[in-house]
Chains A and B, each alone.
Chain A
Amino acid sequence: MISLTTPITEQKIRSLKVGDPVSISGIVFTGRDAVHKYLHEGGALPPQVNLRDGIIYHCGPVMMKEVDGSWRCTAAGPTTSIREEPYQGDIIHKFGVRGVIGKGGLGEKTLAACKADGCVYLHAIGGAAQVLAECVKKVRAVYFLEEFGSPEAIWELQVENFPAVVTMDSHGGSLHKEVFAASAAELAKRL
């Protein structure tokens, strides 16, 4: 298991290869469909949200508000990433993102951005909302809650030992491409 702590250097990212299991600690920002579209259309991030050398997590958590006004994260697995394919590459480039956590992988545009800018795709286990919520040690802040609603807001999470697997690296490698090609070949033999 390779430890990744935010902020992450380009050198560290370049050392990662498809298939590496990683354990993530530090700050991650959630962002999914509404946030990606907004940023892609030229929307500005709140000044407190710094993605440079940081991580975007494709996640719409379940959050409960405590009596003191703080938030408790009670479920926090990844959402399907491929919907962000039209936007992700540009966002990696523009904001200096080093890691994207999600599930299901992304496509060629993002893979090219990972290579050009030094970023990796970190695959978390879809549906494992409780195991992953346990890794969220603190909900530090929320942005765009009113505009986008709770699942689509940017949640600033402090995480510890969050498990994921590198499935797209910064050298053009993609487990998703490999598995698709291999499974298509197996299927062709069985038709």
Chain B
Amino acid sequence: MNALNDSLIELIRRTSVELPDDVNQALIRSLENEKKGTIAESALKIIDQNIVLAKRKSQPICQDTGSILFYVDCPVGFDQIHFEETARVAVTEATKKGYLRQNSVDSLTGKNDGTNVGPGAPTVHFHQHRSPEVSVRLALKGGGCENVGAQYSLPNEKLHANRDLDGCRKVILDAVLQAQGKGCGPGILGVCIGGDRATGYEFSKQQFFRKLDDRNPNAELDALEQDILKTANELGIGPMGFGGKTTLLGVKATAANRLPASFFVSISYMCWAYRRQGVRLGGAGEITSWLY
């Protein structure tokens, strides 16, 4: 009980204060690539300093510590109820320690009780597998980037987007254009083609657990990812929307089956403060290794 609680608090702490190495490296490359003396370059320099400072002080990279999204891979027979109860306690304790902002508001009354626990907060997604391993992934997704996510229903006449991959490309790039700097770029896109409205967004978010430098095993999706990344970075939106060379750090896409009547393209935007981590847990709930 205590070991699992401690492990989850440490997972929350590290996710909130440290960027994963693949993201850090991508930001350093974008800083080197940006035109010297521009406000885009100075924005990336401040971002760079911020990453170092957050880790050193063990304080949140961003004050918006976001929606708390747990994804648990577990064997058959794993006690999910116990896990969820422990996760809620860990979230409350991590909030008291200042790893998380008091960030959860009752949508009807407007009250914020300061615990970060309530209906839908945190969310825990379980996935059973045949292996005995238990792993827990966590994403903290801020509101600024969540607000610029978008879901398109094809065909979209205004954007001349039909029900094909070219139509998908058009709406994804429109989402990048509309987001400008509002989602704290340079950003990362998670995309799902197909599914119902809820599944589409859910699958788009799961893409954020891929590493930035991986490649999509599906050739068509891989080509789409590379094309969107290249094209978005030619638009000149730049860090924070200041103008500049790096608009996106990555694009990750998946597809889900759809109904004949529906063709949704769901796009989730992750800010540069791409807080994702994961751990493998031992039998007593202790952390045995880190996933990112």
Contact = CB atoms under 8 A, between A and B. Distances in A.
Interface stretch (B3-11, B41-49, B205-213): B41-49
Contact of B240 (A62, A79, A126, A178): A126
A127 B177 contact: no
Question: Which secondary structure dominates chain B's binding surface?
Answer: loop
Contact of A131 (B49, B235, B240, B271): B49
A31 interface: no
B26 to A, nearest CB: 14
Nearest to B272: A127
B147 interface: yes
Interface string B169-195: 010011001001111100000000000
B134 interface: no
Question: Which secondary structure dominates chain A's binding surface?
Answer: mixed
Interface in B182-238: 182-184, 231, 234-238
A79 B182 contact: no
Contact of B42 (A21, A83, A152, A167): A21
A51 interface: no
A186 B180 contact: no
Nearest to A1: B42
B47 A125 contact: yes
Interface stretch (A70-78, A90-98, A109-117): A70-78
B144 A64 contact: no
* Interface size grouping (class) on chain A: 35 or more
Contacts of A126: 62, 144, 181, 184, 240, 271
Contacts of B272: 127
A152 B114 CA distance: 12
**Most B C-beta atoms less than 10 A away, residue of A62, A82, A184, A191:** A62
Given A60-B101, A179-B237, A131 B182 contact: no
Contact of A151 (B103, B182, B238, B273): B103
Contacts of A175: 241-243
A186 B240 contact: no
Interface string B24-64: 00000000000000010011001101100110010111111
A95 to B, nearest CB: 23
Nearest to A166: B39
B63 A134 contact: no
Interface string B47-87: 10110011001011111110000000000000000000000
A21 B41 CA distance: 12
Contacts of A76: 63
B271 A21 contact: no
B63 A61 contact: yes
Contacts of B173: 187, 190-191
A127 B53 contact: no
Nearest to A73: B63
Nearest to B51: A130
Interface string A175-188: 11011101110110
A7 B208 CA distance: 44
A105 B63 CA distance: 19
Contact of B177 (A64, A165, A184): A184
A131 B43 CA distance: 11
Contacts of B182: 80, 82, 103-105
A161 interface: no
A183 B53 contact: no
B235 A127 contact: no
A34 B42 CA distance: 31
A58 B149 CA distance: 21
Contacts of A163: 42, 46
Q: Across the A-B interface, give the 9 residue pairs with the lowest CB-CB distance, nearest first.
A: A149-B112, A104-B182, A75-B63, A126-B184, A130-B53, A127-B273, A128-B50, A183-B235, A129-B63
Given A103-B182, A165-B43, 15 more contacts: A61-B63, A75-B101, A80-B147, A125-B50, A126-B240, A128-B47, A129-B60, A129-B61, A131-B46, A148-B112, A151-B102, A163-B46, A176-B180, A184-B177, A187-B173
Interface of B: 39, 42-43, 46-47, 49-50, 53-54, 57, 59-65, 98, 101-103, 105, 110-112, 114, 142-144, 147, 160, 170, 173-174, 177, 180-184, 231, 234-238, 240-243, 271-273
12 contacts: A21-B39, A21-B42, A61-B101, A75-B63, A82-B182, A130-B54, A133-B63, A149-B111, A149-B114, A150-B102, A165-B39, A179-B238
